[in-house]
Amino acid sequence: MIVSQFYSLSDTFKFGQYKGMALSDVIDWDYQYIYWCMNSISNMEFLIYDSAIEELTENHCIRKTNSVNGYIEISEDLLP
């Protein structure tokens, strides 16, 4: 069962406290929630596709790691 999948920054959460909010808004509002989702929900249920990760790296203070699973790293020192 897929909980949420994100192909772009405008895709919305289908669960939880940010249900209905766009991925980009959640990152701006509470980026640690993304970490929580990535660590607490199976990567087969919570999916951020490469297209969304590329948008994130272009538009936010986010770096893509070299891991096979495409995890993202948020640089806290660059956030407002």
Q: Could you tell me the pTM of the whole model?
A: 0.71
31 contacts 72 by C-beta, under 8 angstroms:
no
Residue 38 has pLDDT above 60, yes or no: yes
Residue 73 has pLDDT above 70, yes or no: no
pLDDT in tens, 49-61: 888 877 877 766 5
pLDDT of the residue at 78? 45
Start-to-end Cα distance in the chain: 35
Residue 67 has pLDDT above 60, yes or no: no
CA 38 – CA 43 distance, rounded (Å): 7
Phi (first) and psi of residue 22, to 5 degrees: -70, 150
